[in-house]
A = this chain, B = another copy of it.
């Protein structure tokens, strides 16, 4: 059932002993929502806890500042930034079918919860949770503002991507006035790389291939590279944006080895090729300009399959 901001606020005012669920492989938006909402609920005098299947990424640990665990048996379950129960991950299986309120911004929301507050034109779920906290009338601490700001900044590539709206900027301005240390957040989230992240970026750049007269660029990330550079697959996620940055490239392809003979593909396009359609050819999907799929085979086979499909798409849209 779709509910309004006011109805969601009314529901939370009546609720207590609330578990807040974040999606697996957590990012700044789901965690910003989770910890931001936790502070808002605490300010209302409620007991609450944040749950996620995966640990907090190193760069985002600051979001949990001021957070405390307390013992209670959950009466209410709220999910934030989760479009589909498949994104709960292994650690949250006990909450399947038990979500009372889902707060989200994904157009692909599957309405798995009893009540859903969806704002599909919001750049970040943090915008929705921020407005919900305003509706609840709680005072905003600097830490709450930092949580919401982080979600807005990370989901928009620091206000750069096309999903950014004037409202995103205005809410960010408000969070700055409420005391969030935006410069420190920007530095931690966007401008800091570990030695391992530098090393794997260097290897990826050194191996970047260019095809179709510069219209496609491709990088490969292998388990051996992760091990040599001492990084996790998640640490290397951001590299999928690299190939598309090359001037003249329409399609950027990142091939990530998952296991022997299994490759996860990320595709990005600039303004002609529908990479969601391309990835559907291989059983995947996604958005018009950012999509993914999984292909089995040798690396050479996977490359040949992908480049064949990309080449045809480039010709058809030329």
Contact surface of A with B, Cβ cutoff 8 Å: 153, 157-162, 164-167, 169-170, 172-174, 176-177, 182-183, 186-187, 190-195, 198, 201-202, 205-206, 208, 210, 214, 241, 244-247, 270
Could you tell me if A183 and B166 are in contact, using CB atoms closer than 8 angstroms? no
Residues of B contacting A167 with CB < 8 Å? 173
Given A193-B247, A205-B201, A205-B202: A169 and B160 interface contact (C-beta under 8 Å): no
B169 with A186: CB separation less than 8 A: no
A158 to B164, CA, bound (A): 12
CB distance from A245 to the nearest CB of B (A): 5
- The residue of chain B having its C-beta at the shortest distance from the C-beta of A243 within the complex is B198
Q: Could you say which of A165, A169, A244 has the most chain B C-beta atoms within 10 Å of its C-beta?
A: A169
Q: Give which listed residue, B170, B182, B201, contacts A173 with CB less than 8 A.
A: B170
A175 to chain B, nearest CB (A): 9
CA distance A47 to B191 in the complex (A): 43
Pull 25 A–B residue pairs with CB atoms less than 8 Å apart, ordered by A: A158-B159, A158-B160, A160-B182, A160-B190, A161-B186, A162-B182, A162-B183, A164-B182, A165-B176, A166-B173, A169-B170, A169-B172, A170-B173, A187-B270, A191-B241, A191-B244, A191-B245, A193-B247, A194-B246, A195-B247, A198-B208, A202-B202, A202-B205, A202-B206, A205-B205
Are A246 and B198 CB-contacts (below 8 A) given A169-B170, A170-B169? yes
- The chain B residue with its CB closest to the CB of A163 is B183
A270 to B187, CA, bound (A): 9
Contact A246 B193 (CB under 8 A): yes
Tell me whether B158 and A166 are in contact (CB under 8 A): no
